[in-house]
Structure 1
Amino acid sequence: MAEPSRDPPDRDRTRTEPLVARTANHVGRLLPLALVPLATALLRVRDLLAVSRADGLSVRASFPVYRYDVWNFLEAPREGGLSVSLPFGTPEPLPLLVPLIGAYVLVSGVLSAGYFGCIADGVTTGQFDFVANIRRFGARTVMLEALVVLALAAAFLPLVIVPPLFVAAILAALVLSYLYFPTVYVLVLEDRDIKSALGRARDLVDQHRPIGFFLSVAVVTALCSVPLSLVARTSPVGALLATVVAAPLGLAFNAATALKVAEMAGVETVE
């Protein structure tokens, strides 16, 4: 367990502070969780080396749909110069490597259980236990991860046959991401099953219409991606430095989204 202070935390009943200030209040106590986005980013060593050898800069905007790491701010370029990436990346042919995909879903889902569970605990109680949250949410987040992979496959695999559907697939993914982005957060904040979390997420979006928040996150991540890409493209050391900097930055975006969803759901948070 990690406690933020010796004094009992004050409940943020009125939520009058700006979201940025509230996020800053929480990131310090949540900082150990930055090891998760750092670890997931370092799994792509080959891409980090490719970025370090690239010229120019990249601009990448990411919506608040899941767990942030450096790859929400950077993209391994195919060519030199300026590259602009959509929030969902570019579709590639899905290799028939079911065991590899299954391993990814399992590892990522387990990490998400500890990560998002601890963020939820941190913003609502001021303390968290990573292992306990894996035990509590692990099965559900692994299943949610599998559903996301299947949904992406259903959306983008037809592009292999009919490439002109690319724009339609991107728009569909964008709309679905907006409608259901609170899912993993309400799952851990309110301890819901997947079906209930999906329904609750859709209800919250319909009720509160957080389009401003959704788009603002994309704009801010795009702005952050510029200096990170400039640093990452200087050398392998620069790429590693950008990865380290992006880890707590990604944590801050996830914490901000958790606070926003908690506010929408009427879940009390602490200072």
Structure 2
Amino acid sequence: MARPSRSPRDRDPDPTESVVERTFSHLARLLPLALVPLATALFRTRDLLATAQTNGFSLRASFPVYRYDLWSFVDAPNGSGVTVSLPFGGLEPLPLLVPAIGAYVVVSGALSAGYFGSIADGITVGGFDFVAAVRRFGVRMVLLEAIVVAAFAAVFLPLLVVPPLFVVAVVAGLVLSYLFFPTVYVLVLEDRSIGSAARRARGLVARDQPLGFFLAVAIVTAVCSVPVSLLAHAGPVGAFAAALVAAPLGLAFNVATALKVAEMAGIETVG
């Protein structure tokens, strides 16, 4: 994907810098994008209120698959004080109405287009235009969102009929997540079609085998989930504060993953 030339102030990142260091070097510039994970957290108003009214905490590990927000770190209450959740470890009932699913796909896809497109521009050219990113990637992101929803249904809905398949479905979900987690990042970093991005992502994973990074993200999100969930369970003010805290935290995880994928793909980033 063609990128505007960088100004003399931009510097090439030091190859000895860790992904963590490079992530924090970008966060201040990209911080307005934290409004997206804040919005997606607040969309689940019923879960937020239920969490605020329940004591306990959640231990939730989230692999680098998609957007991070409060619900990447906190499980909505399920009737017990302490919950332990792994990625794809729970199944929430899908909306019964097709228009509701369609609205979710469109809104979420548009937000993802602006969010991930802006992150890609932020780490490669040092600036971003959220609206331009929505225009550029909106159609592809909405389609990708629809594919993800359909794939999720294909993997997990059979559990409603044959519950013993749960373990198989979880393993299948984790394997697919690992094999294709760079897809959304490759799509915006290299301006590819969905199919091309998925093939490219699969090739990058096969070549670089970033299992350590994949697992490290899950471990760090699990560690972060404890204090965030304790705050979320501390009443309505605490729940809103947890959403505020989780928004830049989620942005940091998405930026870190974008930087990792850019490194795997050999894409030049700014400091």
Report the AA paired with residue 230 of structure 2. Answer: L
Contact 2:59–2:73 under 8 Å retained in 1: yes
Report the AA paired with residue 40 of structure 1. Answer: T
- Residue 9 (structure 1) aligns with: 10
Aligned equivalents of 1:180, 1:15: Cα separation in 2? 25
Aligned equivalents of 1:132, 1:89: Cα separation in 2? 36
Aligned equivalents of 2:256, 2:213: Cα separation in 1? 10
Aligned equivalents of 1:201, 1:131: Cα separation in 2? 26
Q: Cα offset for 1:8? A: 2.1
Contact 1:183–1:200 under 8 Å retained in 2: yes
TM-score, normalising length: structure 2: 0.96
Q: Which moved more, 1:85-94 or 1:16-25?
A: 85-94
Gaps of 5+ in 2: 1-5
Q: Cα offset for 1:107? A: 0.3
Q: Does 2:52 match 1:52?
A: yes
Q: Does 2:177 match 1:181?
A: no
- Residue 201 (structure 2) aligns with: 201
Aligned equivalents of 1:33, 1:245: Cα separation in 2? 13
Q: How many residues align?
A: 266
Contact 2:95–2:101 under 8 Å retained in 1: no
User: Secondary structure at 1:264's aligned position in 2?
Assistant: helix
Aligned equivalents of 2:95, 2:148: Cα separation in 1? 17
- Residue 136 (structure 1) aligns with: 136
Contact 1:114–1:134 under 8 Å retained in 2: yes
Aligned equivalents of 2:89, 2:44: Cα separation in 1? 15
User: Secondary structure at 2:54's aligned position in 1?
Assistant: coil
Q: Cα offset for 1:234? A: 1.1
Q: Does 2:180 match 1:171?
A: no
TM-score, normalising length: structure 1: 0.96
Gaps of 5+ in 1: none
Q: Pairwise mapping of residues 1-271 of structure 1 onto structure 2 (< 5 A)?
A: 8-12=9-13, 15-271=15-271
The CA RMSD over aligned residues, in Å, is 1.3
Question: Identity of paired residues, percent?
Answer: 68
Q: Cα offset for 1:179? A: 0.1
Aligned equivalents of 2:81, 2:256: Cα separation in 1? 32
Contact 1:112–1:141 under 8 Å retained in 2: yes
Q: Cα offset for 1:101? A: 0.3
Aligned equivalents of 2:119, 2:92: Cα separation in 1? 32
Q: Which moved more, 1:152-161 or 1:116-125?
A: 152-161
Aligned equivalents of 2:54, 2:96: Cα separation in 1? 30
Q: Cα offset for 1:89? A: 4.4
